[in-house]
Chains A and B, each alone.
Chain A
Amino acid sequence: MARLKTPVILKVSDITVGYGAVTAVKGISFEVREGEIVSLIGSNGAGKSTTLRTISGLMHPKTGSIEFRGEKIDGMPGHEIVAKGICHSPEGRRIFPRMTVDENLDLGAYLRKDSAAVKESRERVLELFPRLRERITQKAGTMSGGEQQMLAVGRALMGEPKLLIMDEPSMGLAPVLVDLIFETIETIRKSGVTILLVEQNALAALRIADYAYVLESGHLKLEGDGSKLANDPAIAKAYLGG
């Protein structure tokens, strides 16, 4: 798949992010265009999750800037960024285990005031994941890992994002579920949501992506069309285990 020619929705310019004295992201630039699936791949500690957290406003860059739909968003607190239309399905799912599935979904729409529209989103999410409808009154922590992942994605979709950030959606899931999650990512994109995806499962992430960036210890190493990178022998050797 090749890069779309749509307008740039997210533009990350030369950001540096660190935890105290440790710099995890050392000057990374990339962009996401409307309607695309863009993947960030790289080994552990490459700075993928840090980059996503910075976009979501959970961390703030020391240098560089992030623009969303032409507006500077770095330095904004997390809730304002959610209000702009960036929702985050975090690594490790981080659902609220002691709340019901329904309450979890409600929280996903925390900033939305129009209750009729929220109801519609809820209906769409439950159509996308029929499994969640069956579990709607169950405490989220008592569900299986796969169901929790569905909830994490569904909860993020409840915010009606323009850009959905997904951090390791297939982590720790059975192979059959990994396929299901990747199918769902396609479905979500078809509904008009732009997706920024971080994955350990690099091959699947490249196959699904229009465009991909490869990170290595905080730097941008490579970029290119997803399918091209998937077939690149150098990539295969370094990241795809063979």
Chain B
Amino acid sequence: MTNLQPAHHAAGVNNKKWAIGFSTVVGVIFLLNVFVLPNSNTQVQRFFNAWFSLNSLAEIMIWILMALGLNIIVGYAGLLDLGYVAFWALGGYVAGWLMSPFLSQFQVNFFGNARVGFDQGIHFHVFLVLILGGVFTAIWGVIIGGPTLRLKSDYLALVTLGFGEIIPQFMLNGSNIFGLNVTNGAQGIGGLDQPNIFGYVMGTFALPQKFLMVSLMAGAMIFFSIRLRDGRLGRAWLAIREDELAASMMGVPLWRTKFSSYAIGAVGGGIGGVGFAILVGGVYADRFNFVISIIILAMVVLGGMGNVWGVVVGATLLAWVNSVGLVQVGQLINNTFDTKFNFPSYQFLLFGLLLVLMMLFRREGFLPEARMRMVMNEEKLEDLEKVTDDTKIGSH
């Protein structure tokens, strides 16, 4: 047999390699933007700004964070969630409510960093907001998942689809809920506090520092994703994904286990929402639409469902293509061949094409989880069963 080494050992070595790679990339980007780029000539600066602007790289980290959250629901436990954007929105509004002058009925400042002259509203410390954002979305995960997870997973997909529409619509129209302005409607909540981390205030131009912060958040999510997968709960999720009935026979509490995946997965969306709100300095309802849910799902599927590093790669690629890749590559093609295609307007055409091609030629994703590769090649599994011959077993 080829697999003589215990599987988890090999995976551990692999994780280490990937973790070093991830940290190196983050470190290099940070140092490049702090020390090298400000002192280099305008041509170099222009190149990096066009192809790898720090803003887009920071957003990629948010996408990684959320894709990993959804991966816990879809990849680990095998539940289909079509409305993940709702958790992003909820997390964003938690940041809007708890670190801006918006809720001016209150005047609370808990280690927050209110701008001078704007000390009405609630101003919590950014760490506290991150925690509360996670808790708040987990509670919503419980509210949505609780009743629906008792049904077949198809129903969960439908309910989440609805939920993903309702929450953003509520945010968009929530400027007058029984006379109370909850979300400030389409205008959104702007002017978020600048995070104050151990005395360092992240102002408008502290983009490298913000990038570092969201990268640390994404790194933490990667760490927890791996720990969860390799732990007892992760094993139970995999068992449910493989065979629900058999899992139940082993004593895996079905409802509770699915439920925990849904609530824990929601936290990724919530924290991502807080991070994104801090990055753009506000939260705006029209950003949260159904397409976002599908893009995050595509990141998980294209990257390799269930495989943490696969999802990281999938999220990075898709997020980059969506933010700058398509525009830049399009310009390059137009300039080279003297054409006038408006590439960004074909975004979803190309996106769909990519999905179709992936499903045709590499269904298991860029970097598939070893188990998934087998799921996607079911007929080969039966061939394998014949590798060993039963007639030789009897005489042990």
Contacts and interface: CB of A to CB of B under 8 A. Distances in A.
Interface of A: 56-58, 77-79, 82-83, 87-88, 90, 94-100, 102-103, 106-108, 110-111, 130-131, 137-139, 141-148, 155-156, 159, 173-174, 176-177, 179-180
B246 interface: yes
24 contacts: A56-B249, A57-B248, A58-B249, A79-B252, A79-B253, A90-B245, A98-B242, A98-B374, A99-B242, A107-B235, A107-B252, A110-B232, A110-B239, A130-B396, A137-B3, A137-B7, A142-B384, A142-B385, A145-B390, A147-B388, A155-B250, A176-B393, A176-B395, A179-B394
For the complex of A and B, 8 pairs with smallest distance between CB atoms: A82-B251, A176-B394, A111-B251, A98-B371, A78-B248, A94-B246, A142-B384, A146-B390
Contacts of B390: 144-147, 173-174, 176-177
B contact face: mostly helix, strand, loop, or mixed: helix
B389 interface: yes
Given A78-B248, A90-B249, A137-B6, A103 B235 contact: yes
B385 A145 contact: yes
A144 B391 CA distance: 10
B25 interface: no
A57 B253 CA distance: 12
A99 B251 CA distance: 17
Contacts of A98: 242, 371, 374-375
B34 to A, nearest CB: 45
Given A110-B235, A131-B393, A146-B393, 4 more contacts: A83-B251, A96-B238, A97-B381, A155-B250
A81 B235 CA distance: 20
Contact of A110 (B242, B250, B391, B393): B250
Interface residues of B, number: 40
A88 B249 contact: yes
A59 B393 CA distance: 35
Residue of A56, A142, A147 with most partner-chain B CB within 10 A? A142
Contact of A99 (B1, B371, B384, B394): B371
B387 interface: yes
Contacts of A176: 390-391, 393-395
Interface string B181-201: 000000000000000000000
Nearest to A56: B249
A99 B388 contact: no
B389 A144 contact: yes
Interface string B273-285: 0000000000000
Interface string B177-220: 00000000000000000000000000000000000000000000
A110 B236 contact: yes
A130 B250 CA distance: 22
Contact of A141 (B7, B255, B385): B385
Contacts of B5: 137
Contact of A82 (B232, B243, B250, B255): B250
Contacts of B321: none
Nearest to A150: B393
B247 interface: yes
Contacts of B243: 94, 96
B394 A110 contact: no
A94 B245 contact: yes
Interface of B: 1, 3-7, 232, 235-236, 238-239, 242-243, 245-255, 371, 374-375, 381, 384-391, 393-396
A146 B396 CA distance: 13
Nearest to B247: A107
Contacts of B388: 143-144, 147
Contacts of B1: 137-138
B386 to A, nearest CB: 8
Nearest to A141: B381
Contact of A177 (B236, B239, B371, B393): B393
Residue of A57, A111, A141, A145 with most partner-chain B CB within 10 A? A141
A100 B394 contact: no
A78 B250 CA distance: 9
A154 B234 CA distance: 22
B253 A97 contact: no
A107 B232 CA distance: 9
Contacts of A106: 235
B391 A159 contact: no
Given A79-B253, A137-B7, A176-B391, A96 B385 contact: no
A149 to B, nearest CB: 9
A144 B388 CA distance: 5
A117 to B, nearest CB: 15
Nearest to B249: A88
B374 A110 contact: no
Residue of B232, B236, B390 with most partner-chain A CB within 10 A? B390
B381 A142 contact: yes
Contacts of A142: 381, 384-385, 387
B217 to A, nearest CB: 31
Contacts of B242: 96-99
A102 B238 CA distance: 14
A67 B79 CA distance: 35
Contacts of A145: 385, 390
B251 A143 contact: no
Contacts of A87: 249
Contact of A174 (B235, B254, B394): B394
B22 to A, nearest CB: 27
A79 to B, nearest CB: 4
A144 B375 CA distance: 18
A203 B208 CA distance: 76
Nearest to A144: B388
Contacts of A78: 248-249, 251, 254
A166 B238 CA distance: 24
